[in-house]
Structure 1
Amino acid sequence: MRYLIPSVSALALSATLLGSVAFAQDEEESVTLYRIFVGDHKDSKVTAFDLSKPEKRWTFDTVGQNKLYSVNDGASVVAVQSDNNAVNFINSGISLHSHGDHSDIEITDPSAVEKALTGPRPFHVIDHDGKIVINFDKGGYNDIIDAHELTDGEIESTRLKQARAHHGFAAPVGKGWVTTVASDAPVEGDTAPTRVGLRAVKEDGTPTGEVATCTGIHGEAFSGAFFAAGCKEGILTVTASAGGPVTKMLTYPSDLPSGETTGTLLGAKSMQVFLGNYGAKGLVVVDPADEPHFHYVELPFRRVDFALDPANARFGYVLTEDGTLHQIDVLGGKISKSAKVTEPYSMDGHWNDPRPRIAMAGDDIVMSDPNAGMVRRISKTELKEIATIKVEGKPYNIAVAGGSGKVHEHADGEAQDHDGHAHAHSHGDPQIYKGYFEDSQVKDRPLSDYAGDWQSVYPYLKDGTLDPVWKHKAEKGTSSVEDIRAEYEVGYKTDVNRITIEGDAVTFYKEGQPSKGTYAYDGKEILTYKKGNRGVRFIFKKTEGDASAPQFIQFSDHGIAPNKADHYHLYWGKDRAALLNEVTNWPTYYPSSLKPEQIVTEMKAH
């Protein structure tokens, strides 16, 4: 599998923004906060607490046992009560607002959303592209909620109807939708319709394509450009296209244990890869783009629960019934370390018997321990217990909200945002920087975002100044120093060593000779790269100036909304459309005021 970082994202922000400390402040008032939500196995309630200050509690009453989902970047928590035909919503009190290359995080107390959804047996929840989608198994429909409206406490759902009621799901893919399909009648000996495949539909459920076979379809996730679901035959992948969703079956290879299937999938954000269950004692790593598509990981005991690390998707974590927590090397397809963390929990009995559930909170793993009546906080690097948090009843399902940022102090000493609300400020959203964002987040940008005097970094590559950067990247990744330098030799190559931007005037200096033009905004284009992540080009067209000045210039700086660039990659030429296909040569510019050693430091820090 491949990291979802194109060559132009060489300066991607470090995932270490998500630290293990649940709440910490440094001299610049940076803060990291994780909030834990725990559903009880028996009592109809959800308990919430901050990981750093678990003594402060919030309790939310529901009507039944809760399956919890953290949605909309943790801004909301969905509490599904399948046996009680109800869905409740909680505002987590931690809300991330992206502004391109930085994010604001508002921090308040969590609160219950007044309105709930009711319907026959709600179950699967999908969170994607600003939509929260809940399947009602015995109703034959999905309710679709706008994630941003939910954050504001509003629940106005639209309905996607299915041909017949069944245990399934619906999901947005590009500009279209897909939904599971069930047979007209149950197979002999079964009491429910048999799930047979996936079909492209309109948002109201009207079919737009044929059924793609996927027997017993169950379990779904997004990663990069792919949506995937588990089937009896293999893993069915779905990608967006101008003509609608496109499906492809990845058949289980013969070297996987026979007779097993995948019914639960987790999708990584920083790599294009899925981690799924495969039988009671196995996991399977699924690369949807490249062969071999499957890597099997055999476990020593039956699996209880598993999770992917959103901050470093190279690793997953799985708890087995002997009470051991294992770190899974996703790239290597193997167990990398193991440690005993709780007493055994047998997988014999009912699937919903009280057993531990795990979730990630920065550098920590949080694990419910129903029999012990606590939540355990475990270091993901050492697999050692950091603390235990007593929770009344039988803590069971668990969800996490939170992240890191910087608090901006005003004259009155109170941290506030522009509307007077307390908030933290994060200089850079790692997922946006890596190319993961929703279309609705992309905003037009002015040329003033790129104003200043800029120097090319290509001369520093040629004279060896950037050699420490290549070494640093090689130590962090899987490529050699030589391969990395060769990639950037092509990427940085240019004979324009300086660019100045003032007002609407852009001047290019080639061998010291200026070439000047005035430019007007010509729109933006969202690009999807081969590896599955995306980028935005902000385009300007020449209105007048020297004939040698390019007709079009296209900026890419990993930002997607107005904000001052600290560096950028620039594409230029006569053909607007042709430039969009250029992804190997991306001349890169840093402020001319920076010394070479400062540029090296900047590059190594990202």
Structure 2
Amino acid sequence: MRHLIRGASALALSTALLGSAALAQDDGDSVTLYRVFVGDHKDPKVTAFDLSKPEKRWTFDTVGQNKLYSVNEGASVVAVQSDNDVVTFINSGISLHSHGDHSDITITDPSAVEKALTGPRPFHVIDHDGKIVINFDKGGYNEIVDAHELTDGQIESIRLKQARAHHGFAAPVGNGWVTTVASDAPVEGDSAPTRVGLRAVKEDGTPTGDVASCTGIHGEAFSGAYLAAGCKEGILTVMASADGPVTKMLNYPADMPSGETTGTLLGAKSMQVFLGNYGAKGLVVVDPADEPNFRYIELPFRRIDFALDPANARFGYALTEDGTLHQIDVLDGKLAKSAKVTDPYSMDGHWNDPRPRIAMAGDDIVMTDPNAGLVRRISKTELKEVGTIKVEGKPYNIAVAGGSGKVHEHADGDAHDHSGHEHAHSHGDPKIYAGYFEDSQVKDRPLGDYAGDWQSVYPYLKDGTLDPVWKHKAEKGTSSVEEIRAEYEVGYKTDVDRITIDGDVVTFFKGDQGSKGTYAYDSKEILTYKKGNRGVRFIYKKTKGDVSAPQFIQFSDHGIAPNKADHYHLYWGNDRAALLKEVTNWPTYYPSSLKADEIVSEMKAH
């Protein structure tokens, strides 16, 4: 299989950034950039372009028609070619790294990942908790791809087997997994096994629980603490618990149109709610926790496609076959406004006939218009067209990567390479960050402040990657490079090279071996150091898990109140009091999505 990149990819990255930044530039170093990926309906290719500078393009040859998914916070794009038994991957070239009060954005050209996954009829893709899961419908298994390895251009997958091949999915839930289950044989009139429910399993597919009934289960999404899936009888919800996944069926209410079901669900990110289809002309807003669980919205014509706004979860958007785009008020459960945006596209005919698809790109809705050979830009507030982009062929499936962040300029003019660069990060009150605060300012913190996938920096110390950091510290202080490195050799030392935190489950990895524990908040302790400054340990106690998982974990990240950590020092062991006395060994973790040069940059900024 060939991956071919065409276009002006050889331009200097700094020039590319200046062009890309035209969409929005809030101040000298703040950039908003959205990159659009379009799969053709007929030709085996994906076309990519920056929304603000669409003449700059990249083309990736594939094997067949693509269904595109933006995954891992937009850092990667998955191209599923179901009819050709292959899944290919593209690094979007846009990475966002959160620092609590702002995000940094790194921009490079998109690039194809050389390795692909092959297998019988790949279909559903789930992106959750650092895992990208692809169901192979005719193979009876799911391939689990590690998201942070994918951003490094590596495809390392684990196979989760199902009892039999069927059109289903598998998903991580807390410290376990769930997978769809199919009947032993097709029911009369069906050509394939009938999907009957969802079952808790281990990562290798070994069952750990009974089947939760969900007839015809299809469509899945995550929002807040919930996974939800559509069934003939209602919506099945799943939550993590110390004893494994817990399911609950929300039956469709009697006042909704009978005989219809939900087969596609979208999950909001900034509030706990789902938007799903319900029959050909309906949508349903699903609140998994509070009644009323369902609010039905009738559309004037059959639905072609719909999307949720990730930036403002109050609104969703649906395109109907008459060419009208509708804004959905999710909170009120009604149509807010509507406007004509394209010629009609009938829903009669084959499900895969070329029809428009929509995706969100900041303040714009981007919509493919296959018959016109266009991608249309539509204002999400006014529902008015603000531009069109000609795309060769029949533009069909669409995915978007990008967002807003700060780009830190360098003396050499390279606006993308973070290595060797100092930048001022705001960590709130600088006195607090330095360890000077009042007791009254200290607040309890949830484990969610530390959620994510984290890598130890100790290997970077050992291989010399962090040597520029010691030199930088020596230039600003009174200690030598050798003295500083020796201190951090003791401080960073650990054999736990990776930690993942999902909900209340913390997994410690030594190589490929993981040790899991479920942890609950166990208060905080304020420590006073020799030089007079202070710090706070936020402490969590194990309530359940592997024997090898520590009884206590204590976080220190220079923060004293709820805020998302951008790195942290972690202390662990079975003696709570003894841990509080440990001040020389403080294993340190940064997001696994960060590359080595970016970590060097972060450290030099502190």
TM-score if structure 1 supplies the norm length? 0.71
Structure 1 distance, partners of 2:449, 2:172, is: 16
> d(CA) in 2 for partners of 1:44 and 1:191?
29
Per-residue deviation, 1:337? 0.3
Q: CA deviation at 1:406?
A: 1.6
Conservation of the 8 A alpha-carbon contact between 1:134 and 1:142 = yes
Q: Output the aligned Cα RMSD.
A: 3.1
Matched, 1:197 2:202: no
**Counterpart residue number, 2:486:** none
- In 2, the alpha carbon distance for the partners of 1:199 and 1:207 equals 7
Shift, 1:100, TM fit? 4.8
Q: Match for 1:188: what amino acid?
A: E
* Equivalent residue number for residue 464 of structure 2: none
- On the 8 A contact 2:146/2:157 being kept in 1, the answer is yes
User: Are the equivalent residues in 2 in contact too, given 1:504–1:519 (CA < 8 A)?
Assistant: no
1:391 aligns with 2:404: no
The answer on whether the counterparts of 1:75 and 1:151 sit within 8 Å (CA) in structure 2 is yes
8 Å Cα contact 1:91/1:112 also seen in 2: yes
Answer yes or no: is the 8 Å Cα contact 1:324–1:341 preserved in 2. yes
Q: 1:169 to 1:425 in 2, by over 3 A?
A: farther
Aligned match of 2:382: 382
Q: Please, which runs of 5 or more residues in structure 1 have no aligned partner? A: 1-19, 445-498, 507-517, 528-536, 541-552, 565-574, 577-606
Match of 1:557 in 2: 562
SS at match of 1:387: strand
Match of 1:244 in 2: 244
Report what 1:589 is aligned to. none
- Shift in Å at residue 30 of structure 1? 1.2
- String of CA shifts for 1:171-220, please: whole Å, max 9, x gaps: 00001000000000001011100000000000000000000000000000
* 1:413 CA drift (Å): 3.6
Q: Write the mapping of 1:51-66 to structure 2, written as runs, cut at 5 A.
A: 51-66=51-66
Q: C-alpha separation between the residues in 2 aligned to 1:378 and 1:426?
A: 35
Change over 3 Å in CA distance of 1:420–1:216 after alignment to 2: farther
State the 1:560 CA deviation: 1.8
Q: Which one of the candidate residues 439, 445, 461 is aligned to 2:452?
A: 439
CA distance in 1 between counterparts of 2:561 and 2:90 reads 37
Q: What secondary structure is seen at the aligned counterpart in 2 of 1:166?
A: coil
1:342 has 2:342 as partner: yes
AA partner of residue 440 (structure 1): D
Change in Cα spacing, 1:26 to 1:256, as seen in structure 2 (3 Å) is closer
Equivalent position amino acid for 2:396 in 1: Y
C-alpha distance 373-520 of structure 1, shift in aligned 2 (>3 A): closer
Distance 1:120 1:200, change over 3 A: same
Taking the aligned partners of 2:221 and 2:41, their CA distance within structure 1 comes to 25
The C-alpha deviation readout for 1:10-57, integer Å capped at 9, x for no partner, is: xxxxxxxxxx98633344221100000000000000000000000111
One-letter amino acid matched to 1:25:
Q
Tell me the residue number matched to 1:367.
Answer: 367
1:416/1:190 CA distance change after superposition, 3 Å: closer
1:167–1:436 Cα change, 3 Å: farther
CA distance in 1, matches of 2:446, 2:242: 25
* 1:424 CA drift (Å): 11
Other-structure match for 2:30? 30
Q: Say which SS state the counterpart of residue 150 (structure 2) adopts.
A: helix
Report deviation, 1:411. 2.7
Task: Please state how far the C-alpha of 1:405 moved relative to its aligned partner.
Answer: 1.1
User: Residues 333 and 522 of structure 1: is their aligned pair in 2 closer, same or farther, counting only changes over 3 Å?
Assistant: closer
Q: Classify 1:407/1:178 alpha carbon distance in 2 versus 1 (closer, same or farther; 3 Å).
A: same
What pairs with 1:501-580 in structure 2 (closer than 5 Å)? 505=532, 521=537, 523=539, 555-562=560-567
The 1-side partners of 2:554 and 2:101 are apart by 14
Aligned ranges 1:57-76 → 2 under 5 Å? 57-76=57-76
Q: Which has the higher contact order (CA 8 A, sep 6+)?
A: 1
Contact 1:89 1:116 in 2 (8 A): yes
Distance of 2:450 and 2:234 partners within structure 1: 29
1:150 partner SS: helix
Counterpart of 1:173? 173
What per-residue deviation string (whole Å, max 9, x for no partner) do you get for residues 284-339 of structure 1? 00000000000000000000000000000000000000000000000000000000
2:243 alignment partner, SS class? coil
Aligned length in residues: 457
Per the alignment, residue 86 of structure 2 pairs with: 86
How many Å separate the matches in 1 of 2:538 and 2:137? 47
**Cα pair distance change 1:172/1:32, threshold 3 Å:** same
The 3-state SS of whatever aligns with 1:83 is helix
Give the equivalent residue in structure 2 for 1:299: 299
Q: What is the one-letter code of the residue matched to 1:257?
A: P
Mapped partners of 1:113, 1:258: distance in 2: 46
1:418 Cα shift? Answer: 3.4
CA shift, 1:439, in A, is: 3.3
Distance 2:50 2:330 in 1: 30
Preserved CA contact (<8 Å) 2:77 2:90: yes
Distance of aligned partners of 1:314 and 1:434 in 2 relative to their CA distance in 1, 3 Å threshold: farther
Equivalent pair of 1:265/1:276 in contact (CA under 8 Å): yes
Match of 1:371, SS?
Answer: helix
Q: In the aligned structure 1, how far is the partner of 2:357 from the partner of 2:22?
A: 19
What is the Cα deviation at residue 149 of structure 1?
A: 0.4
Look up the match of 1:148.
148
Matches within 5 A, 1:464-483: none
In structure 2, give the amino acid aligned to 1:30.
Answer: S
Q: How does 1:41-52 map to 2 (within 5 A)?
A: 41-52=41-52
Q: Is the 8 A contact 1:125 1:134 kept in 2?
A: yes
* Residues 99 and 563, structure 1, Cα contact 8 Å, conserved in 2: no
Alpha-carbon distance in 2 for matches of 1:320, 1:433 = 42
2:453 aligned partner, one-letter code: S
- Native 8 Å contact 1:441 1:560 kept in 2: no
The alpha carbon displacement at 1:266 in A equals 0.0
User: What CA distance in whole angstroms lies between the structure 2 residues aligned with 1:200 and 1:144?
Assistant: 16
SS of residue in 2 equivalent to 1:115: strand
Deviation at 1:426, TM superposition (A): 9.5
- Equivalents in 2 of 1:84, 1:186: separation in Å? 25
In the alignment, the residues of structure 2 paired with residue 554 and residue 407 of structure 1 have an alpha-carbon distance, to the nearest angstrom, of: 24
Partner of residue 322, structure 1: 322
Amino acid at match of 1:24: A
CA gap of 1:261–1:27, structure 2 versus 1, over 3 A, is closer
CA apart distance, 1:408: 1.5
SS at match of 2:149: helix
Amino acid in structure 2 at the alignment position of 1:405? G
Q: Which moved more, 1:339-348 or 1:435-444?
A: 435-444
Which amino acid letter does the alignment assign opposite residue 230 of structure 1? G
* Contact residue 536 and residue 559 of structure 2 kept, 8 A: no
Paired residue type of 2:452 = D
Amino acid at match of 1:147: A
For the residue of structure 1 that corresponds to 2:348, the secondary structure is coil
Structure 1 residues 155 and 427: CA distance shift in structure 2, 3 A = farther
TM (normalized to structure 2)? 0.71
Aligned partner of residue 557 in structure 1, secondary structure: coil
Are 2:218 and 1:218 aligned?
yes
The C-alpha deviation readout for 1:206-265, integer Å capped at 9, x for no partner, is 000000000000000000000000000100000000110000000000011000000000
Deviations 1:351-407 (A, max 9, x none): 110000000000100000000000000000000000000001000000000011122
Q: Give the superposition deviation at 1:436.
A: 8.4
Taking the aligned partners of 1:334 and 1:351, their CA distance within structure 2 comes to 27
The alignment status of 1:274 with 2:246, answered yes or no, reads: no
Q: Matches of 2:536 and 2:24 in 1, distance apart? A: 45
Amino acid at match of 2:225: A
Alignment of 1:586-597 (within 5 A): none
Task: Name the CA distance, whole Å, in 1 between partners of 2:133 and 2:39.
Answer: 20
